[in-house]
Chains A and B, each alone.
Chain A
Amino acid sequence: MLNLSLKQLSQNLNDKTFSSLELTEFFLSRIKKYNKQLNAFITIDESSSLSMAKMADDKISKGEHKPLTGIPIAQKDIFCAEGWRTTCGSKMLENFIAPYNATVIQNFNDIDAVNLGKTNMDEFAMGSSNETSYFGSVKNPWNLDCVPGGSSGGSASAVAARLAPAATGTDTGGSIRQPASLCGFTGLKPTYGLVSRYGMIAFASSLDQAGPMAPSAEDCAMLLNSMASHDHKDSTSIDHKKEDYTTNLNHPIQGLKIGIPKEFFGDGLNASVQKIIEEALDKYKKLGAELVDISLPNSDLAIPVYYVIAPAEASSNLSRYDGVRYGYRTKEYDDLMDMYFKTRQEGFGEEVKRRILIGTYVLSAGYYDAYYLKAQKIRRLISNDFKQAFKKCDVIMGPSAPSVAFGSGEKKEDPLAMYLQDIYTISTNLAGLPAMSIPAGLSNNLPVGLQLIGNYFEEGRLLNIAHQFQLSSDWHLKIPEGIS
């Protein structure tokens, strides 16, 4: 069960080689064994998971098997799942039991996939190392002294250590791709609007996008088939024709034009990471692709623009956590203001407070034009860069992150160094483009991810290009030693 792909697991469930109950118990026992070390999960609810598994078995026995029926999937704790504690990694929601299902969760429930548990994450998805979680930092299974990346670090650690065959993540500035890169598996951030944001606790609404995290591109394609849906509950959800992302995985990629942005290979890039990325690009050449030099001239503005827009939206999105209706409320207070101050002071962690402050500042009267409005203008320039680039190439490739996993605590006190972790991923969120990270090699026994960026709604194409790479490499199948 450990080394089977989702397709193989699905086949075995349908053939009744093993039941969903057995499969779910298998992963729950792995979680029990390894979660103390990895801290990948915040909430495990064995009885809920097992009863979902039984229901799935029931469906399978009635012949109502669908591709993900009975497959346990770890859910990032940012998705509301009815009856499940949903914390978003924050003390603010430590005891919050979601009264409804996020559309992503509902989509999985509709085909009787099993919720394996809620994974750890940076608080309100703000972080790149999973060290801002109120529920403790998550460890990278490749090296327990290293971070798994963030903010979907719990999902990443769980998938890398095969505590779950697959997981969901969300990506606002790289939160799927950077941890996928640092933990050595495949992660996809879809086009903005492809996956509904309803029930996904908001960080920065115009950037947040949910996506699949699993060992292979083929696995991600199966997950995306369920995750993507037009949702009338999310006004920014796009009415895109339903696709089967597994259909075109085997398309040949001869003649594929791969754009190589020179800005992604500058000073900040670790040399051994660069080497591995270049080797991966060579492999693509051998597979019949052609490399094209391109430029994304406004790349260096992506981080500053992001750190205006994302905190601005976050400062407003997080206003609802005021201690009035649900969530944490301070114990003692004198009056309303005192209650607000103490509740939010005590309920939010440092990084969240930092971003609320930045966001509040940039939206303030007298600063709005200079920061927020300016950032929106640059955001359009960045989108334009990609538009120009895609005239010359079919896909853009480069590193997912500037380095391999770094040591726990290494960048914790240096927010700017931490923010640079997302230097290659943020611009695609600003443009709303789909992008992936796939394992490309190991450096010092730590994974390196190759990033693939596609044009709008080209998830199918990206998955195809990734799958072709994975057919002739096995980096995505590697499991860190000591875990198996």
Chain B
Amino acid sequence: MDWDIVIGIETHVQLKTKTKQFSGASTSFGNEPNSQGCLVSLAYPGVLPVLNQEAVNCAIKFGLSIDAIINRKSIFARKNYFYPDLPKGYQISQFELPIVGEGKLSILIDNHTKDVRILRAHLEEDAGKSSHGLSHGKSGIDLNRAGTPLLEIVTEPDMSSAEEAVAYAKKLHDLVQWIGICDGNMQEGNFRCDVNVSVKKKGSDVLGTRREIKNLNSFKYIKQAIDYEVNWQIETIEDGGLIEQSTILFNPDTGETKAMRSKEEANDYRYFPDPDLLPLIVTEEDMLIIKDSLPELPSEMQSRFVKDLGLSMYDATEITSNKDVADYFIGMINKGASAKLSVNWIVVNLFSRLNDGEMSILDSPVTFEKLAELILKIEDQTISNNAAKKVFEVLWKNPEESVEELIEKMGLKQISDSSEVEGLVDQILDSNANMIDEFKSGKEKAFNALVGQVMKASKGKANPSQVNEILKKKLSN
């Protein structure tokens, strides 16, 4: 039987604010356990939450960047449950009225764009961290993270494959960094996805029962977990079993998913409006100020690149996949490098080197200035594309070298003097009369062989298009 896969994602995005959602304690990562508490985040008797306006601004920025409704009035609610890393015994979140309403994010899948509908995004505070089995069967609680501001972004169940889910997660990950509301460090848990997965018979309108895979913090895990879960659900149903609504965990070591608790065991969170906080009101003025502070969004930049630079939509999307890449690219074209060549060089040569070293473009030893210079040398035919690759490799290891001097030193300058090239061509034609005959009798290959000979004679320095041109002229005589 054929199956449809239905996926919805809830992402917890840690907002890039200096202080916590409802207190002045620091949000920095990696400090001594329990060194970033303050009375509010430790929930001392009598303390009260005060909303961090910076976090609100981040939420509004996000809403504006996905064309979402920004609710002018939203409400903070208490989500009540007991756990030692939740100091108040409740989490302050938004329930009935979130700050961000419906919006959408488009993803590129197999060269087609697809809209993923965003249902809502709401502000909440993070819990602390429990570490179990520290010593003598004891558990440790670190409350440094408790109270850290989060934006929870919830999609409609619009994705239908692990690839789409990953494409969405990556797109969202890029966007929140692009607009500067999240560091995006997934290892530190700055960006965590809960993925809801269900399967249904192909074409059926009836959704299957979903299971929620909690807390996935890498794109690889998202893919693995969904693939495993989909297979498991299909096998279970085909074996005559029933899927039970539940929360599950993915184990990266085994690649398997495992139920944590079923619906029956789920908490009754007893949500109610937090009486310590007033309704959050967003004014028209707030919105305008934040709108002005937003950078040019990837989608806007893409259209601009297609229109003004003549890039294909695919190239434009690739080059705006994240802010740092786009900045690098813009830096290059501002130096006069051709847009098309710049995209190719970034996406092909630079990315493969960066991937090898698991580096970000910000860490690239080859600066955008140098790469632009190199490309300009290709464009003015000083060097060939292949020669440029050689220069690039040397530059990668010796970033302080100058492009100009390297070309000189490595002897890569193209011979573009037409009389010199003509001389070379004549020399080859003279000693290869048989190949001329082959060509004239219709063997196209002979032409390429002749080009090869000329290039060889020039030690690769002849300008190939010039060689082509001259050879063609001579042979047609």
Contact of A316 among B48, B49, B90, B277 (CB under 8 A): B90
Flag if A235 contacts B39 (CB, 8 Å).
no
In the bound complex, CA of A88 to CA of B80 (Å): 23
Flag if A368 contacts B46 (CB, 8 Å).
no
A interface residues, tally (CB under 8 Å): 44
In the bound complex, CA of A197 to CA of B47 (Å): 8
Decide if the interface of chain B is mainly helix, strand, loop or mixed.
loop
Flag if A326 contacts B84 (CB, 8 Å).
no
CB of B43 within 8 A of chain A?
yes
Flag if A322 contacts B48 (CB, 8 Å).
no
Stretch from A113-121, A359-367, A437-445 at the B interface: A359-367
In the bound complex, CA of A80 to CA of B277 (Å): 21
Q: Which residue of A lies closest to B89 (CB)?
A: A319
Flag if A319 contacts B275 (CB, 8 Å).
no
Q: Which residue of A lies closest to B139 (CB)?
A: A336
Contact of A363 among B47, B270, B278 (CB under 8 A): B270
Q: Which residue of A lies closest to B78 (CB)?
A: A316
A100-B39, A324-B141 known; A93-B45 Cβ under 8 A: yes
In the bound complex, CA of A56 to CA of B275 (Å): 37
Nearest chain B CB to A313's CB is how many angstroms away? 6
Q: Which residue of A lies closest to B49 (CB)?
A: A235
In the bound complex, CA of A201 to CA of B275 (Å): 14
Contact mask B333-360 → A, CB, 8 Å, 1/0? 0000000000000000000000000000
Flag if B278 contacts A236 (CB, 8 Å).
yes
Nearest chain A CB to B467's CB is how many angstroms away? 77
In the bound complex, CA of A252 to CA of B278 (Å): 38
A198-B48, A235-B276, A316-B272 known; A363-B80 Cβ under 8 A: yes
Flag if A320 contacts B88 (CB, 8 Å).
yes
Flag if A80 contacts B46 (CB, 8 Å).
yes
In the bound complex, CA of A169 to CA of B268 (Å): 35
Contact of B84 among A204, A318, A322, A372 (CB under 8 A): A322
Flag if A372 contacts B278 (CB, 8 Å).
no
A93-B45, A199-B47, A235-B277 known; A340-B272 Cβ under 8 A: no
Contact of B275 among A205, A322, A326 (CB under 8 A): A205
In the bound complex, CA of A235 to CA of B50 (Å): 6
Flag if A236 contacts B84 (CB, 8 Å).
no
Flag if B50 contacts A368 (CB, 8 Å).
no
Residues of B within 8 A of A88 (CB): 45
Nearest chain B CB to A208's CB is how many angstroms away? 9
A316-B89, A322-B82, A360-B270 known; A236-B45 Cβ under 8 A: no
CB of A40 within 8 A of chain B?
no
Flag if B89 contacts A322 (CB, 8 Å).
yes
Contact of B46 among A102, A235, A322, A365 (CB under 8 A): A102
- In chain A, positions 182-211 with a C-beta closer than 8 Å to chain B are 197-202, 204-206
Flag if A206 contacts B80 (CB, 8 Å).
no
Flag if B275 contacts A232 (CB, 8 Å).
no
Contact mask B83-121 → A, CB, 8 Å, 1/0? 010011110000000000000000000000000000000
CB of A325 within 8 A of chain B?
yes
A319-B80, A324-B141 known; A364-B44 Cβ under 8 A: no
Contact mask A438-468 → B, CB, 8 Å, 1/0? 0000000000000000000000000000000
CB of B75 within 8 A of chain A?
no
- In chain A, positions 53-82 with a C-beta closer than 8 Å to chain B are 79-80
In the bound complex, CA of A363 to CA of B275 (Å): 14
Residues of B within 8 A of A93 (CB): 45
Q: Which residue of A lies closest to B85 (CB)?
A: A324
Contact mask B252-264 → A, CB, 8 Å, 1/0? 0000000000000
Contact mask B312-345 → A, CB, 8 Å, 1/0? 0000000000000000000000000000000000
CB of A234 within 8 A of chain B?
yes
CB of A233 within 8 A of chain B?
yes
CB of B42 within 8 A of chain A?
yes
In the bound complex, CA of A460 to CA of B278 (Å): 26
Nearest chain A CB to B39's CB is how many angstroms away? 6
CB of B51 within 8 A of chain A?
yes
Contact mask B37-71 → A, CB, 8 Å, 1/0? 00100111111111100000000000000000000
Most chain B beta carbons < 10 A, residue from A88, A232, A318, A363: A363
Q: Which residue of B lies closest to A344 (CB)?
A: B82
CB of A99 within 8 A of chain B?
yes
Nearest chain B CB to A169's CB is how many angstroms away? 16
Flag if B89 contacts A235 (CB, 8 Å).
no
Nearest chain A CB to B34's CB is how many angstroms away? 10
In the bound complex, CA of A234 to CA of B39 (Å): 14
Q: Which residue of B lies closest to A207 (CB)?
A: B275
Flag if B48 contacts A234 (CB, 8 Å).
yes
A313-B275, A322-B82, A325-B87 known; A86-B43 Cβ under 8 A: no
In the bound complex, CA of A364 to CA of B272 (Å): 10
Residues of B within 8 A of A235 (CB): 48-51, 276-278
Most chain A beta carbons < 10 A, residue from B48, B84, B271, B276: B48
A316-B78, A316-B89, A324-B141 known; A364-B46 Cβ under 8 A: no
Residues of B within 8 A of A79 (CB): 46
Nearest chain B CB to A339's CB is how many angstroms away? 9
Flag if A365 contacts B82 (CB, 8 Å).
no
Contact of A100 among B44, B51, B276, B278 (CB under 8 A): B44
Flag if A197 contacts B272 (CB, 8 Å).
no
CB of A96 within 8 A of chain B?
yes
A236-B276, A316-B270, A364-B270 known; A96-B141 Cβ under 8 A: no
Most chain B beta carbons < 10 A, residue from A199, A235, A312: A235
- In chain B, positions 269-283 with a C-beta closer than 8 Å to chain A are 270-272, 275-278
Q: Which residue of A lies closest to B51 (CB)?
A: A235
Flag if B45 contacts A86 (CB, 8 Å).
yes
Residues of A within 8 A of B272 (CB): 312-313, 316, 363, 368, 372
Residues of B within 8 A of A86 (CB): 45-46
In the bound complex, CA of A204 to CA of B275 (Å): 8
Residues of B within 8 A of A96 (CB): 45
Residues of A within 8 A of B88 (CB): 319-320
Flag if B276 contacts A324 (CB, 8 Å).
no
Contact of A80 among B45, B80, B89 (CB under 8 A): B45
Nearest chain B CB to A96's CB is how many angstroms away? 7
Q: Which residue of B lies closest to A96 (CB)?
A: B45
Q: Which residue of A lies closest to B45 (CB)?
A: A201
In the bound complex, CA of A316 to CA of B270 (Å): 9
Contact of B82 among A201, A204, A340 (CB under 8 A): A340
Residues of B within 8 A of A312 (CB): 272
Nearest chain A CB to B261's CB is how many angstroms away? 14
In the bound complex, CA of A314 to CA of B268 (Å): 17
Flag if A320 contacts B46 (CB, 8 Å).
no
In the bound complex, CA of A420 to CA of B309 (Å): 78
In the bound complex, CA of A2 to CA of B80 (Å): 49
Flag if B44 contacts A326 (CB, 8 Å).
yes
Residues of A within 8 A of B43 (CB): 320, 325
Q: Which residue of B lies closest to A318 (CB)?
A: B89
In the bound complex, CA of A327 to CA of B87 (Å): 13
Flag if A202 contacts B46 (CB, 8 Å).
yes
Residues of B within 8 A of A316 (CB): 78, 80, 89-90, 270, 272
A99-B39, A316-B90, A319-B90 known; A206-B275 Cβ under 8 A: yes
Pairs A–B under 8 Å by Cβ, sample size 17: A80-B45, A86-B46, A99-B39, A202-B45, A205-B275, A315-B80, A316-B78, A319-B88, A320-B87, A320-B88, A320-B89, A322-B82, A322-B89, A325-B43, A326-B44, A340-B82, A368-B272
Measured CB to CB, the residues of A under 8 A from B are 79-80, 86, 88, 93, 96, 98-100, 102, 197-202, 204-206, 232-236, 312-313, 315-316, 318-320, 322, 324-327, 336, 340, 360, 363-365, 368, 372
Measured CB to CB, the residues of B under 8 A from A are 39, 42-51, 78, 80, 82, 84, 87-90, 139, 141, 268, 270-272, 275-278
Given A326-B44, A363-B80, A365-B270, output 4 extra A-B contacts at Cβ < 8 Å: A80-B46, A99-B39, A235-B48, A319-B88
